[in-house]
A = this chain, B = another copy of it.
Amino acid sequence: MIRFYNGKTLRCGGGLRLTDDEVWTSGGEIVYVGAQRADRPAFEREIDLGGDLLLPGFKDAHTHTAMVFLRSLADDMPLDKWLSEQVWPNEARLDEEAVYDLTRLGILEYLSSGITASFDMYVKNEAYARANIDSGFRTVICSGLNNFDRDVENIEREYLHFNRLHPLVSYRLGIHAEYTTSMERMEYAVSLAEKYREPSFTHLCETKAEVEGCVERYGLTPPQLLDRLGFFRYGGGGFHCCHMSDEDIALFAEKKLWAVTNPASNLKLASGVAPIERLRRAGVPLAIGTDGAGSNNALDMFREMYLVSALQKLTEGDASACPAESVLEMACVGGARAMGLENCTDITPGMRADLVVLDLHRPNMQPENNVLKNVVYAGSKENVRLTMVEGRVLYERGEFFVGDSAEHIYEKSNAFIRKIRG
């Protein structure tokens, strides 16, 4: 058992609130949250928070982890050139080993940012899952079915396989996007969602061109088309959601579909700004993702949280839009619920021990006018003191404990870069 004490604990049930509760974990679970007790067991480790903040880990609700190899490989070029000259040719070079090594690197960055779980859509899922398991990191794989997949039925096999593979891994149904997936394949994805009564996810309304193309092809926006097909019958949601009409927003609100926002990527690729404040006011459930490091270029939940709020203040022309607490809730709670990780949404007994300690003894967290607003508006990776997943400390004070050294993981990623550069 591990004990966290002498700090501030963020509890999330029924709205966020700061308490001075201490927290005990046993194995992968939170077993006690409350006042200091006289009857204490023998702890394996007691962590003195020294006034620091213990909170449920951030969930990265949309990412492509292994794309970390594209970081800074080809920035500052137009989107079409970036895709055709850099992303696609280089992605074709990815093999199982590369995806494993690059995923290991991405996980280090998640941990350094206080992220305890990812909702990932990419390629070579077997190697991807293994990298997560070997690192001790939690992930939910999302099917990215599209027209380039040779074996359509593989997603059903993946669904069955990855949901039974390991406690740290699960799998959700979905497609890459309407514009990359034929009607026949979309209908197949819907049939699986029906068969297993599962939610479905997809890239959605990321760019204006995507929406226009869909309207041209089908006379409907992507949310409306997918809804008509039955894609959202058991829930689910969309990644990006930049270009949503009022009807799209109403549809998401009515069906309680998750809108996962990726503000840094959408800025950097000039895609747009998702109408998060309008979605929020309409009651749409919200979560935050980094997208891949090829576009972002960081996997940094602090950057994303700041942008979610600050961009809404700009686009709404209202400095009170999208307050800090709502953003923190998206990062800690919303993401988990979008991913189906209902047992990673709070610090309370029975929840999984996916926890983060933020160092408040740094200048950017001072003075302590408002700890939660400080985290959202001024926090950075320098504040991440400790990251725990499933009860194991995987990161603490700059050091990683993931079964391999950071330097070795860096070297493998750089070796892959040398290889693809020839």
Q: Spell out A's residues near B (CB within 8 Å).
A: 68-73, 75-79, 82, 105-106, 108-109, 112, 264, 266-273, 293, 296-300, 302-303, 306, 309-311, 313-314, 316-321, 323-324, 361-364, 366-370, 373-374, 377-378, 380-382, 384, 398, 406-407, 410, 413-414, 416-417
| A112 (CB) vs chain B CBs: closest residue | B363
Question: Which of the listed residues A302, A310, A368 has the most CB atoms from chain B within 10 Å of its own CB?
Answer: A310
How distant is A78 from chain B, measured CB to nearest CB, in Å?
A: 5
How distant is A273 from chain B, measured CB to nearest CB, in Å?
A: 7
How distant is A398 from chain B, measured CB to nearest CB, in Å?
A: 8
Instruction: Give Cα A362 to B362, complex, Å.
Output: 19
Instruction: Give Cα A75 to B350, complex, Å.
Output: 35
Residues of chain B contacted by A297 (CB below 8 angstroms): 373-374, 377-378
How distant is A344 from chain B, measured CB to nearest CB, in Å?
A: 22
Partner of A314, one of B272, B381, B413: B272
Instruction: Give Cα A398 to B298, complex, Å.
Output: 22
Q: Taking A300-B380, A381-B382, A417-B367 as contacts, is the C-beta distance between A318 and B270 under 8 angstroms?
A: yes
Q: Does the CB pair A313–B380 fall under 8 Å?
A: no
Q: Does the CB pair B71–A374 fall under 8 Å?
A: yes
Residues of chain B contacted by A273 (CB below 8 angstroms): 314
Q: Does the CB pair A314–B380 fall under 8 Å?
A: no
Q: Does the CB pair B109–A363 fall under 8 Å?
A: yes
| A73 (CB) vs chain B CBs: closest residue | B369
Instruction: Give Cα A320 to B70, complex, Å.
Output: 16
Question: Which of the listed residues A373, A378, A406 has the most CB atoms from chain B within 10 Å of its own CB?
Answer: A378
| A76 (CB) vs chain B CBs: closest residue | B323
Q: Does the CB pair B303–A367 fall under 8 Å?
A: no
How distant is A111 from chain B, measured CB to nearest CB, in Å?
A: 8
Q: Does the CB pair B367–A69 fall under 8 Å?
A: yes
Instruction: Give Cα A178 to B70, complex, Å.
Output: 46
Question: Could you list some 19 contacts between A and B, CB below 8 A?
Answer: A69-B367, A72-B324, A72-B378, A75-B370, A105-B363, A105-B366, A112-B382, A264-B310, A266-B314, A267-B311, A267-B314, A297-B374, A300-B378, A361-B407, A363-B410, A366-B410, A367-B417, A381-B381, A381-B382
Residues of chain B contacted by A271 (CB below 8 angstroms): 314
Q: Does the CB pair B382–A313 fall under 8 Å?
A: no
| A326 (CB) vs chain B CBs: closest residue | B76
Instruction: Give Cα A75 to B297, complex, Å.
Output: 28
Partner of A71, one of B296, B313, B367, B382: B367
| A104 (CB) vs chain B CBs: closest residue | B363
Instruction: Give Cα A310 to B75, complex, Å.
Output: 11
| A297 (CB) vs chain B CBs: closest residue | B377
Residues of chain B contacted by A71 (CB below 8 angstroms): 366-367, 369, 374, 377-378
Residues of chain B contacted by A313 (CB below 8 angstroms): 267-270
Partner of A82, one of B82, B319, B417: B319
Q: Does the CB pair B319–A378 fall under 8 Å?
A: no
How distant is A94 from chain B, measured CB to nearest CB, in Å?
A: 14
Q: Does the CB pair B75–A377 fall under 8 Å?
A: yes
Q: Does the CB pair A72–B299 fall under 8 Å?
A: no
How distant is A40 from chain B, measured CB to nearest CB, in Å?
A: 29
Q: Taking A319-B79, A374-B71 as contacts, is the C-beta distance between A364 and B300 under 8 angstroms?
A: yes
Instruction: Give Cα A302 to B300, complex, Å.
Output: 12
Residues of chain B contacted by A316 (CB below 8 angstroms): 270
Residues of chain B contacted by A414 (CB below 8 angstroms): 366-368
Question: Which of the listed residues A70, A106, A108, A362 has the most CB atoms from chain B within 10 Å of its own CB?
Answer: A362
